[in-house]
Amino acid sequence: MSHNTFGHLFRVTTWGESHGPALGCVVDGCPPGIVFTEAEIQHWMDRRKPGQSRFVTQRQEADQVRVLSGVLARDDGALITTGTPVSMLIENTDQRSKDYSEIARRYRPGHADYAYDRKYGLRDYRGGGRSSARETAARVAAGGLARKVLPQVRIRGALVQIGKKTIDRNNWNWDCVDQNPFFCPDPKMTSEWEAYLDGIRKQGSSVGAVIEVVADGVPAGLGAPIYGKLDQDIAANLMSINAVKGVEIGNGFAAAEISGEQNADEMRIGDDGRPVFLSNNSGGIAGGISTGQQIVARFAVKPTSSILTERKSIDADGNEVDIRTKGRHDPCVGIRAVPIGEAMLACTLADHYLRHRGQTGRAGFEE
């Protein structure tokens, strides 16, 4: 039973709290012979790193990954996986635990404080403890390794909605995504979001968002029927990200509104003699199994619960209190959820690929 692990053949276990000395992950099941560098993992870490614009938390963390096991170093410094668990560690350096002392016994509205106390009878209140988004740094490290397991697959994400402001999909431009602080794919929306979020930020308020993650190059046949469905695992793994309240695949909720004729993805034989789909309402998954089309998933992130406006709450002693949450917070946690969503999709696909292909991809009886 996995409280802190996800995946079956590509298994990721994360550990660590917001204000502990370090956090990290253990990736169990990574196939042998994968070549990578710490810098390649760091590339993905840096996309998620806090403090990179005024629209995200001002906590300063280098988020430097150290690989502690599961690899051999080549002469050129590259690492080769050996098939044994890859342990990766990230030190926490910029904790400010005193910011939190006044909420040690108070339940911040919208946060998990009350639920944790009811479950465990105690909690690490410093920066949200285990429920902090800092835990997701470990996911991104694991996702970096997962991408290496699937070199043929390209996994990308973008922010498609902030508050009620939704991009125009006709303007979608992947090149735009890395050229603004929002992972926004619509060049015409960037400045609008900037002004909007500046207003939110100055009010000490926050707002929700919707993220889309896609994978190109996924072969047909990944997934399994009924309770091992690829879309089910994508849903679970995206829903495990902090603050996520909804997940959809392909058409998603919009599928409820249309007819069977509109929704069916028709097929033809392409010029190269291979099957082609004429649309992708399914988001690349039918009956829980990949069809070979682009995998498309979206998830909704609620507004950051840590806000400066006073809200009604109670404390652990049963007193009514009013709370304003200080500290350094993201006005829209959805922004940094983009690289996290990509990482979760990468890990999910690596896991299903290994289920399909086996632990090592090496021959058995055939040899």
User: What is the 8-class DSSP label of residue 355?
Assistant: H
* Residue ranges in 39-78 that form contacts with a copy of itself under rule CB under 8 A: 66, 68-70, 72
**Residue 166 or residue 179: which is nearer to a copy of itself going by CB?**
166
Return the residue of 46, 187, 286, 327 that touches a copy of itself, per CB under 8 A. Answer: 286
Assess 143 for contact with a copy of itself (CB under 8 A). no
Short-list 252, 254, 323, CA closest to 107: 323
* 169 lies in the site for a copy of itself, by CB under 8 A: no
- Burial (0-12, 13-18, 19+ Cβ within 10 Å), 219: middle
**What does the angle CA 157 – CA 159 – CA 163 come to, to the nearest 5 degrees?**
160
Q: Of 67 and 177, which has the nearer Cβ to a copy of itself? A: 67
Where in 180-239 is the site for a copy of itself (CB under 8 A)? 200, 205-210, 219-229, 231-233, 235-237, 239
Return the closest-CA partner of residue 137 out of 68, 64, 69: 64
- Binding of residue 99 to a copy of itself (CB under 8 A): no
Stretch that binds a copy of itself, among 43-51, 54-62, 176-184, 254-262 (CB under 8 A): 254-262
Give Cα 155 distance to the centre of its chain.
Answer: 12
CA distances from 108 to 103, 299, 321 (A): 7, 24, 10
Q: How far apart are CA 149 and CA 351, in angstroms?
A: 9
Asked whether residue 2 is marked as a ligand-binding residue, the answer is no
Q: How far is CA 288 from CA 79, 221, 234, 347, in A?
A: 35, 9, 10, 17
Instruction: Work out which of 176, 189, 295, 307 binds a copy of itself, going by CB under 8 A.
Output: 307
> Segment near a copy of itself (CB under 8 A), from 55-63, 121-129, 171-179, 181-189?
121-129
Q: Which residues pair with 277 in a beta bridge?
A: 267
Among residues 334, 335, 336, 343, the one that binds a copy of itself under rule CB under 8 A: 334
Tell me how far apart the alpha carbons of residues 92 and 164 are, in angstroms, rounded to a whole number. Answer: 35
End-to-end CA distance of the chain: 36
Q: Which of 179, 319, 324, 326 binds a copy of itself (CB under 8 A)?
A: 319
Work out how close the CB of 128 gets to a copy of itself at its nearest, in angstroms, rounded to a whole number: 9
Check whether 348 is labelled as a binding-site residue. Answer: no
Residues 6+ apart with CB under 8 A from 307: 204, 205, 206, 324, 325, 329
The residue range among 35-43, 46-54, 126-134, 172-180 that interacts with a copy of itself, by the rule CB under 8 A, is 126-134
Give least dist CB 144 to a copy of itself, A: 17
Nearer to a copy of itself, 24 or 143 (CB): 24
Q: How far is the CB of 46 from a copy of itself (least distance, A)?
A: 23
Annotated binding residue 54? yes
Which parts are annotated binding residues? 48, 54, 130-132, 242-243, 287, 302-306, 328
